[in-house]
Chain A
Amino acid sequence: MDETRIIAWIDGELSSEEAAEVEAAVAADPGLAALADRHRRIRARFTAAFAPLLDNPVPLPKRKPARVVSLAAVREERAQAAPRPAPRWRGWAWPGAVAASLLVGLMAGHGSGPAGLSDRAGALALSAPMAQALDRQASGDLGTVNVALSFKNHDGQFCRSFVAQYIGGVACKAPGGWQLRYAAPVDAQHGDYRMAGSDPASAKVVATMIAGDPLDAAGERKAIAAGWR
């Protein structure tokens, strides 16, 4: 009768015949009985100490980590799409203008009015907590905003696509701070913080704005350290 068999007996791993055999051996040998008692006590001690952990409910994580957009897929899709006539005024094609009117509408809906908007036409300054999160968070981190992607635009500014509690979009770091260049309301109804930048519309926006490739993790760390300048 070895220790392995006694432990298996305590763990309920033996058939009834095998269990009866161990029981008889233990009853006949005080040394084996002490060994069995010892392992039974340890198991009971662990069970008792760890069981209260089951009494506390654990919430599901509130947000899913941001998905990184496949820019290659978006470019492919664009290349295959039928060529469209060039817009008459380039200014109208620039997503910022669209975003500006959309966002003013959103803000009016929330009753917050135009306070916090920069006085520059077409530029929307972001609130301090959002700006701070854009300054500090790496892509994929969970926080005030979830950043999917960082890149440089054709003006040489750093831009980041993100999603926050009510709004997602693309913001770029201008000399005055982070400014929204594209925004869309976020559907948080199902607890599903859909990533602006992973839905086709904002992926297309990113694809029109981006110059070169998105930043990798090292590039992002460098940009965070340099304040995105």
Chain B
Amino acid sequence: MDDFETGLTALLPRLRRFAHGLARDPADADDLTQQTAERALKARDQWQPGTSLAAWTYRIMRNLWIDAGRSRQRRDAVLAPEEWGGTIGVTGEAEGRAELHFLMRAMDRLPDEQREAVALVMIEGLAYAEAAALLEVPVGTLTSRLVRGRQALAAMLGE
């Protein structure tokens, strides 16, 4: 394995977490992770050594997700109430998975531009300036999308 592949391998768990912040369910998230890794390997000549490999691969993932979204049919924003009751009576690891699915469904109800902002800052822990650069928007735009997304999540989660 060369340096590029080693670097990419080290980043894959983080990319997979980001994918779970974007995708509608874990299976889609894993597909998105694999597609991103394939694309990164194929386009490795376009990465400039000395720049952030993480930012470059996050951007690849985000663009693949946007492209998929254009052809994907928008689902109803309203979920059936039974879809929201999944966390009752389960414990331990199963509870953790149920919580993850629950939060992914909440994220899925956000508009794409709020969702990517929330995923980058609140899940991936990027600084506002890093997330804004990655999404190629001014910091003010990023901040307002982030705040609107967080307010919507607070309402959905009954917080």
Contact = CB atoms under 8 A, between A and B. Distances in A.
A3 B152 CA distance: 13
B53 interface: no
Contact of B20 (A3, A7, A50): A50
Interface stretch (A36-44, A105-113, A156-164, A176-184): A36-44
Given A3-B151, A42-B153, A53 B122 contact: no
Interface stretch (A59-67, A165-173, A202-210): A59-67
Interface residues of A, number: 31
Contacts of B100: 49-50, 52-53
Contact of B123 (A38, A41, A50, A56): A50
B121 interface: yes
B127 interface: yes
Interface string B1-45: 100010011001111110011000000000001100110011000
A216 interface: no
Nearest to B98: A49
A58 B16 CA distance: 8
B121 A11 contact: yes
B122 A46 contact: yes
Given A50-B17, A50-B123, A58 B12 contact: yes
Q: Which secondary structure dominates where chain B touches chain A? A: helix
B123 A60 contact: no
A47 B12 contact: no
Contacts, number: 86
A79 B37 CA distance: 38
Contacts of A53: 13, 16-17, 20, 100
Contacts of B34: 61
A52 B150 contact: no
A90 interface: no
A154 interface: no
A64 B154 contact: no
B86 to A, nearest CB: 13
B159 interface: yes
A38 B154 contact: yes
A102 interface: no
B96 interface: yes
Contact of A61 (B37, B99, B157): B37
Contacts of B5: 60
Contact of A60 (B8, B14, B146, B147): B8
B150 A8 contact: no
6 shortest A-B CB distances, which residue pairs?
A: A58-B12, A53-B17, A54-B13, A49-B100, A49-B99, A38-B159
29 contacts: A3-B147, A3-B151, A7-B146, A13-B127, A13-B128, A38-B154, A39-B150, A39-B154, A41-B159, A42-B159, A45-B99, A46-B103, A48-B99, A50-B21, A50-B123, A51-B17, A52-B96, A52-B100, A53-B13, A53-B17, A56-B13, A58-B9, A58-B13, A58-B33, A59-B12, A60-B9, A60-B37, A61-B41, A64-B38
Interface of A: 3-4, 7-8, 11, 13, 38-39, 41-43, 45-61, 64-65, 191
Interface of B: 1, 5, 8-9, 12-17, 20-21, 33-34, 37-38, 41-42, 96, 99-100, 103, 121-123, 127-128, 143-144, 146-147, 150-151, 153-154, 157, 159
